[in-house]
Amino acid sequence: MKLSRALGASVFAAILMTGGCDTVWHPSIPPVAGPAEFPTGQIARGAELAAIGDCSVCHTTEGSRPYASGRGVQTPFGVVYATNITPDPETGIGTWPESAFRRAMREGVDRDGRNLYPVFPYPHFTRATDRDIAALYAFLMTRPAVHADTPPNRLPFPLNQRFVLTGWDHLYLRPGAWQPDPAHDADWNRGAYLVEAVGHCGGCHTPRNVLGAETDGQALAGGEAENWYAPPLQAASPARQGWSVDSLTAYLRTGFDAGHGAAAGPMTAVTAELATVPAADVRAMAVYLTSMMPKPAPAPVVAHAGEDPVFAGACGGCHGPDAPMMRNGAPSLAMSTAVNAPTPRGTIQAILQGLPWREGQAAPYMPPFASVLTDAQIAELAAYLRSAYSDKPAWRDLPAEVARVRGAS
Amino acid sequence: MNTVLSRRGLLALGGGLAVAFSLRAEEPARPGSLKGTPSLDAWIRVAPDGRVTVFTGKAELGQGIKTALLQVAAEQLDVPVAHIDLVTADTMRTPNEGFTAGSHSMQDSGTAILNAAAQVRGVLVAAAARDLGVAAETLTTVDGTVHAADGRSAGYGPLAATLNLHIDAEPTSTLKDPSAYRSMGTPMPRVDIPAKLTGGQAYVQDMRLPGMLHARAIRQPSVGAMLLDIDTGPIEAMPGVVTVVRQGSYLAVVARKEWQAVKAMRALEAAAQWRETASLPDQATVLDLLAGLPSRVIPVLDWKGRAGAPMKRLKARYTRPYLMHGAIGPSCAVAQLTDGTMTVWTHTQGVYPLRSALAGLLRMPVDRVHCIHVEGSGCYGHNAADDVAGDAVLIARAVPGHPIRVQWMREQEHTNEPYGAAMIAEVEGAIDAAGNIVDWNYGVWSNTHNRRPNVGGLMLQNAALPDPLPVPPPAPIPMPEGGGERNSNPIYAFPNAKVVSHFIPEMPVRVSALRSLGAYLNVFAIESFMDELAEAANADPVDFRLRHLKDERAKAVVSLAADKFGWGAGKRGEGRGFGFARYKNLGAYCAIALALRVEHETGRIRLGRVVAAVDSGQVVNPDGIRNQIEGAIVQAASWTMYETVRFDRQRILSRDWSGYPILRFPAAPESISVHIVPRPGQPFLGTGEAGQGPMAAAIANAVRDAAGVRLRDVPLSAVRVKAAVGV
Amino acid sequence: MIRLTVNGQQHEVDAEADTPLLYVLRDDLGLNGAKFGCGLGQCGACTVLVDGQPVFSCLTPVSVLAERQVRTIEGLGGNAVQRAFEDVQAAQCGYCIAGMVMRATALLEHNPHPHEDEIRAYMSGNLCRCGTHMRILEAVRQAAGQGVKP
């Protein structure tokens, strides 16, 4: 594992340095002394954009102050820590003028001129309008300043040398403003802008290439986030029951839809953020996304085949046919996208980690089973779920996949 | 039984009767529960070997009452705690002290045992004086022995063997000088904790009797649901199933093992067909609905006096939703029918009233039902403890001879317990040019806060049975205790004040007693409004309270909390909040000062330091008082920040902890410190419900201070806070 | 018959394979510590240790435990966590306490000196309704100073 990671890193660096021969040196932008004043309306719009952009998903850790960060994001190359984006002058972005913030959003370069890792989705943010970037800036600069250092990234040499990212940008960063599609209406275009530019849904839902860039021509074709399965959001959507604008809007705003189930993994936090966004914006996103998905049709009923004692004892209290949750509107596991997906990763992760509590909110929850079940038992349980609740072919290499997911999480 | 009419009762009677009874009323009443049960041996017995048994009609609910009562008895008897056995609520053994509720246990039972113990000690000393031929005043008592100055001694056991303690207590007792107390006032480890920390048998849930079977009841899915049809055959054939009990719409299953009972219950639920009606109100508008229902007006107080001209007038409305008791352990009971007697082991708060209710449900004579209190999970009022006993007896009657253990499932507890009532309070007040309150007009709207069963018609099962008993109409609890109007009477000295309670008989959602009853909302409203008026008067909230208080003990508690918090050194805008009340204006005084932070991005409240001061009168177990106040603070924080029972028109939607989230560790305050005002020799003042109202108000006042917004509707949820603070 | 090892002792119990460990502990082995609270893994009253990790015994089918070590509060033998809970009187009704002790024991066995945030996060799977949180946290902090060994 370590060897292959190091090898990958070297190849990565080699490619990048080749691509980066026309290295651009980014100047430092002089610091400003805060705090600046902003119109309330601009701050409010920035708050909504920050929620659509899910900034806090990476820039807030459990229990920390909002946007003070410190969260380590698992990537195939190592751990990259999200930075403190509160206006603290020493550890945050308190000395950043708007021009520096805009440059970070557009070019992935910090105020000092250092390249940022593309875990920060500037390839998407680069499409955001000046007005929206300014609103985001206004919002962030009016947060309480929190003094909190960001831990050093855990990346192997030479990836820990930021100059290699110049090559990456050369290869994969496509600057330019968002272009509306005149063939579609305003709602669709609004949704497309929010999904592609600010919401950066492709950050998780688009497959990444060997250099960690979203694969060309594969937009929203399904990817992964922190070892969770991120299903395709286009024609290949494996949803058992197709998404309608209404159901997807409801899901995005509540983290739950009766025809599909509950948001899990990193998506839980995304939906928690979207709950605070104007419904029209989320609906526009749903209009855009569903326009690429198969038309909703009644889901075929999958016969529940046989009993399994592990399922009955561990899962049946909630997911069993007689369970109170099922008698009160929760969908059958047959409706679960994870159970019907081509990869077992979502199912395995849900079993291992469950769904976390959302403080003070009535919301779906599931306990973790990582300590209850062995890898072999989880593999058997996943196989049972697939056979009992899906008509798709059995997953292959389940035990190995369980071990891989558990080891990586 | 001696019945002494109170002066209040006499005034109500009026006319010649009052004259006839007035002489009787002049006699001093016996203290505490000695009023109802005057015989000394109903409370204390001394065996020939000197071992003491103390009886109380109150129950251990986790509030530490056992330990405190042992301390009281040990102190006044001069017997080591280790030599005392304590028998709690049991309809065949202990006095009938009604319900263990209203923070009355120390006032009622503690006072009775305090006096009974002192009097028993007096009787023993008198007997020793006679035997030893010396004056009683020359004798001392230590560790269950009477000592004479000349070295002779007599043990309590031999002395008691010659005495008759079946005598009525005197109205007054010779109590020890509080300065000589050794047990009372000193922290004592709770006697019930060791078993709970080692896996000992501690709860009714842990009972295992010979031949015991496990049962589960199937609840109606919604209020008034009728069981249409069910084929119980396949369920009766399931492994371990002993029988299915069906009576009308009442359904239950008995199995050999608990898991078998659970599985059979789930199968029965799946098989049952119900006819349901949409009988619940619209949650979004339920408070308006309540306000519009017919209500009975109950005047609480009307003060008229001279005051300065009103310069500023404010008006506000405060509300709370339906709240859940939410016991961590679903309710449980064990019942056994043998030789025509139904024995019930229950964690009810009132064994005697429950006995009557169960007898009614079973159509059995009351004296054939025996209720024994065994601890359960904390209940915080009238939860499902009584109703599960109804299940146990109905099922036990169907399987005579076998002890039947029934525990509710989580969703049954969540959706079938009687909730704490949703309430509305409206207040209008005025200040004069000097910033003093010159007028106060307060109204509160509420359903009943007491549907505790004392007749069969009030048991949950009644509606499901084929021949239901009549259901008595809900009744208000009269002041000075009050139900919805509890603590609606301000403790502050206002020259003009009018307080009216609007009692709403019709209950859109089943409700009953939840810890502190109406005091939670009334104190939240009064103490929030005091801050609103203080702000209008440009006064510091603590100073403003102090200048409107006349009660010196109240002032002392407010000042102590402020001092220990460092209120004077703080500044506005730091997120400080204050709340104060004397529970029922009869019980303990409690003031709370706290600091919090409002997270603008999420609307979440982050609790910092919480400092409380409390005056509980004579302290028995100071650590017990601290534990109760700490618990009130954290529980009320959860109510105030998070909780609302959710429902649609047909069913309760808060079916488990994911649908009714409560406070978890990360959101607990940074720290809590509780400071006790010592009041040696003063009467005990109940403490268990003193902190909830002040905590709610302190949070709302601190949110105002931190974020500049005044929130008047509980819960102060993240969504509401966020909506109020904007960005 | 199902095999399992509880507090170092091997048992063979006559239980159906889907029976959650909680019911086997209480019904078949007569142990009181693990409590039924929700049956949904939401409250932690049933927490026991399996191979040193806290699990909700209400959702642990007994059939998955054949080769594993189950520990309950009955098997702790008065460890530092239990002593600290007693010392700070960290209970009101106490129904949640056995589960709290088990989870805290697991924490301190793996992380002898946790930070306050780590304690709170780790304990967040267990609910207390009486509001004993501050004492429970104090007990965990106190026990952390005394060393908790498996």
Residue A201 pLDDT more than 50?
yes
**Per-residue b or e along B104-121, where b marks 16 or more CB atoms closer than 10 Å to that residue's CB:** bbbbbbbbbbbbbbbbbb
- Same domain for C23 and C58: yes
d(CA B522, CA B500): 12
Residues A118-155: tens digit of each pLDDT = 999 999 999 999 999 999 999 999 999 999 999 999 99
List, as ranges, residues 364-393 from A with C-beta within 8 Å of C: 365-367, 369, 371-374, 377
Whole-number pLDDT of residue B10: 36
**CATH assignment of the domain containing A98:** 1.10.760
Tens digit of pLDDT for each residue in B547-596?
999 999 999 999 999 999 999 999 999 999 999 999 999 999 999 999 99
CB contact under 8 A, B726 and A40: yes
The two three-digit tokens of residue B393, written as one number: 């007896």
Model pLDDT for residues B680-722, shown as the tens digit of each residue? 999 999 999 999 999 999 999 999 999 999 999 999 999 999 9
Dist. CA B166–CA B156, nearest whole Å: 16
What pLDDT sits at residue A11? 59
Q: Are residues B605 and B557 in the same domain?
A: yes
Chain C residues whose CB is inside 8 A of the A367 CB are 40-42, 56, 59, 125
Q: How distant is the alpha carbon of residue B64 from its chain centre?
A: 13
Domain shared by B243 and B165, yes or no:
no
Query: Tokens 């509300």, residue?
Result: B319
What's the pLDDT at A14?
Answer: 59
Residue B216 in domain: yes
Q: Which of C74, C96, C120 is the last residue of a domain?
A: C74
Contact B653 A328 (CB under 8 A): yes
Query: Do the Cβ atoms of C41 and A354 come within 8 Å?
Result: yes
B602: contact with A, CB 8 A cutoff: yes
User: Residues A99-114: what's their mean pLDDT?
Assistant: 96
Instruction: Note whether C15 contacts B257, CB cutoff 8 Å.
Output: yes
Q: B428 with B409, same domain?
A: no
Mean pLDDT of C66-94: 97
Cβ-proximal residues to A75 (8 Å cutoff; 6+ apart), any chain: A119, A212
The pLDDT tens digits for B390-418 are 999 999 999 999 999 999 999 999 999 99
Nearest residue in C to B207, CA atom = C32
From the list C20, C42, C53, the residue facing A365 with the nearest CB is: C42
Three-state SS at B594: strand
* pLDDT digit string, tens, across residues A391-409: 999 999 999 999 999 987 6
Is residue B21 predicted with pLDDT exceeding 70? no
The more confidently predicted of residues B478 and A165 is B478
- The answer to whether residue A215 is domain-embedded is no
CATH code, domain with C99? 1.10.150.120
User: What mean pLDDT do residues A10-17 have?
Assistant: 58
Given pLDDT bands bounded at 50, 70 and 90, which one contains residue B438? very high
**Residue A17's pLDDT band (boundaries 50, 70, 90)?**
low
Q: Which residue among C38, C93, C124 sits closest to B378, beta carbon to beta carbon?
A: C93
Domain count, chain A: 2
Token pair of B664 as six digits: 């978890």
Per-residue pLDDT at A35: 66
Burial of B401 (0-12, 13-18, 19+ CB in 10 A): exposed
Q: In this complex, do B270 and A321 lie within 8 Å of one another by their Cβ atoms?
A: yes
- B607 beta partners: B596
The residue out of C59, C74, C89 marking a domain boundary is: C74
CB pair distance less than 8 Å for A365 and B409: no
pLDDT at B12 over 80: no
What pLDDT shows up at residue B266? 96
Does residue C55 share a domain with residue C30?
yes
Give yes or no for a contact between A60 and A142, defined as CB atoms under 8 angstroms apart: no
- pLDDT on residue B645: 98
**Dihedral over Cα of C70, C74, C76, C82: its sign:** positive
**pLDDT given for residue A159 in this prediction:** 86
Residues B389 and B437 in one domain: no
Tell me what percent of the residues of chain A surpass a pLDDT of 70: 91
Q: What is the pLDDT of residue B1?
A: 37
Pair (C66, C80) in one structural domain: no
| pLDDT at residue A295 in the model | 85
Q: pLDDT band at A321, cuts 50/70/90?
A: confident
Q: Is the pLDDT of residue B11 over 60?
A: no
- Residue B177 belongs to domain spanning: 31-184
Is pLDDT above 90 for B255? yes
Give how far A25 is from chain C: nearest CA, Å: 41
Note the pLDDT of residue A7: 52
Residue C82 lies in a domain: yes
Confidence of residue B7 (pLDDT cuts 50, 70, 90): very low
User: What burial class does residue C72 get, using C-beta atoms within 10 Å of its C-beta: 0-12 exposed, 13-18 middle, 19+ buried?
Assistant: buried
What's the CA gap between A305 and B309, in Å, rounded?
80
Whether residue A35 is preceded by a cis peptide bond, meaning omega within 30 degrees of 0, is: yes
A-chain residue closest to B409, CA distance: A324
- The reported pLDDT for the residue numbered B6 is 41
Q: Strand (E) positions, chain C?
A: 2-6, 9-13, 47-50, 53-56, 69-71
Looking at the structure, tell me whether residues B608 and B675 fall in a common domain. yes
Q: Residue A211 phi/psi, 5° resolution? A: -100, 15
For residue B231, count CB atoms less than 10 angstroms from its CB and return exposed for 0-12, middle for 13-18, buried for 19 or more: exposed
**Domain match, C62 and C33 both:** yes
Do C54 and C98 lie in one domain? The reply is no
Q: CB–CB of C19 and A313 under 8 A?
A: yes
How confident is the model over B33-73, as pLDDT tens digits?
999 999 999 999 999 999 999 999 999 999 999 999 999 99
Q: Look up tokens 């932690």; give the residue.
A: C44
Cα B97 from Cα B35, distance rounded (Å): 10
Amino acid at C107: L
Neighbours of B509 (CB within 10 A): 20
DSSP summary character for residue B323: B
Strand-pair partners of A394: none
Domain that holds residue C27: 2-74
Kindly indicate the confidence band of residue B427, based on its pLDDT and cuts at 50, 70 and 90: very high
Domain assignment present for residue C150? The answer is no
State the residue for tokens 């660096």.
Answer: A13
Tens digits of per-residue pLDDT, B161-191?
Answer: 999 999 999 999 999 999 999 999 999 999 9
Mean pLDDT, residues A29-49 taken together: 90
Number of domains in chain C: 2
Its domain, for residue A333, covers 309-408
> Comparing B7-21, B63-77, B91-105, which segment has the lowest mean pLDDT?
B7-21
Based on its alpha-carbon atoms, the radius of gyration of chain C, rounded to whole angstroms, reads 15
Q: In sequence order, what DSSP letters do the residues of A118-187 get, joined into one string? A: TTS-HHHHTTS-HHHHHHHHHHHHTSPP---PPPPPB--TTTTSTTHHHHHHHHH---------TTS-HH
Does B13 have pLDDT greater than 60?
A: no
Side-chain-side CA neighbours of residue B677 (13 Å): 27
Domain end residue (candidates: C24, C50, C74): C74
ipTM reported for the complex, 2 dp: 0.98
Specify the range with the lowest mean pLDDT, choosing from A129-133, B642-646, C110-114, C145-149.
C145-149
Name residue B544's amino acid: F
Domain holding B258: CATH number? 3.30.365.10
pLDDT of B20 strictly over 60? no
Give the residue from A172, A195, A230 where a domain finishes: A172
Q: B538: phi > 0 → left, psi -120 to 50 → alpha, else beta; which?
A: left
Is B478 part of any domain?
no
**Residue B166, CA atoms < 13 Å, CB-side half-sphere:** 1
C102 Cα to chain B: minimum distance (Å):
10
Contact criterion met (CB < 8 Å) for B668 and C137: yes
Report which DSSP code applies to C103.
Answer: H
pLDDT tens across B315-338, in order?
Answer: 999 999 999 999 999 999 999 999
pLDDT given at position A70:
79
Phi, psi angle pair for B273, to nearest 5°: -110, 130
